[in-house]
């Protein structure tokens, strides 16, 4: 039954299809100049392709990660961490101003860079705080002189 009903319906469709190509050349000319420069409406094409990457996404991520290996090298880790944090913060602000212009993957990288930078800064800061606490507890001279340090530690019963 269904096959018998299907065949008569196909025949009336075909003439309609033949009519469409005649109308198409009229529609195409206004489509050819596409509005590439116009930003899409707010939040509409959030995951779309062909968007710009945030300018400092890669640098922020790399510096954020390097902030830990560089932790002990003359305070470089602190510098790397702060730079990554600031750059990523700038980029996230830029993204929030115009979310549709930048790709989501670069935003994720930037956020990861920011978090890595913050952790690197926290680690460096913890170490500097510990160092300052040691200087306060034992004095500058003791830290520069291992023998004096040992005596101080024996007095305090730490070793």
Partner 1 sequence: MAAQEKFDVFDWLNHHLLSCPFKAHFGIDCPGCGLQRSVLTLLKGNLLESFKFYPATIPLILLIIFTAVHLRVDFKFGAQLIKLMFIGIAVIILINYIYKISSHQLIN
Q: Which of 119, 155, 121 is nearest to 137 (CA)?
A: 155
Tell me the angle at which helices 57-66 and 76-97 cross, rounded to the nearest 10 degrees.
150
**Binding of residue 77 to partner 1 (CB under 8 A):** yes
Total interface residues for partner 1 by CB under 8 A: 35
**Binding of residue 38 to partner 1 (CB under 8 A):** no
Q: Which is nearer to partner 1, 101 or 153 (CB)?
A: 153
- Is the CB of residue 116 less than 8 Å from the CB of residue 64? yes
The Cα 88–Cα 9 span in angstroms is 61
Question: What are residue 52's DSSP bridge partners?
Answer: 102
**Binding of residue 112 to partner 1 (CB under 8 A):** yes
Q: Which is nearer to partner 1, 33 or 146 (CB)?
A: 146
Given the rule CB under 8 A, which residues bind partner 1? 58, 61-62, 64-65, 68-74, 77, 105, 108-109, 111-112, 115-116, 119, 122-123, 126-127, 131, 134, 143-144, 146, 149-150, 153, 158-159
């Amino acid at each position: 039954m269904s096959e018998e009903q299907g065949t008569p319906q196909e025949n009336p469709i075909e003439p309609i299809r033949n009519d469409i190509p005649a109308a198409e050349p009229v529609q195409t000319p206004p489509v050819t100049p596409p509005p590439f420069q116009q930003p899409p409406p707010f939040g509409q094409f959030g995951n779309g392709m062909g968007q710009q990457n945030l300018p400092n996404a890669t640098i922020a991520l790399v510096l954020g990660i390097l902030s830990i290996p560089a932790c002990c090298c003359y305070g470089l880790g602190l510098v790397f961490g702060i730079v990554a944090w600031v750059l990523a913060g700038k980029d996230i602000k830029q993204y929030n101003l115009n979310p549709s212009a930048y790709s989501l993957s670069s935003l994720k990288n930037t956020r990861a860079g920011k978090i890595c930078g913050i952790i690197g800064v926290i680690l460096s800061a913890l170490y500097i705080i510990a160092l300052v606490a040691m200087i306060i507890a034992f004095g500058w001279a003791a830290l520069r002189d291992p023998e004096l340090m040992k005596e101080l530690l024996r007095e305090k019963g730490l070793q």
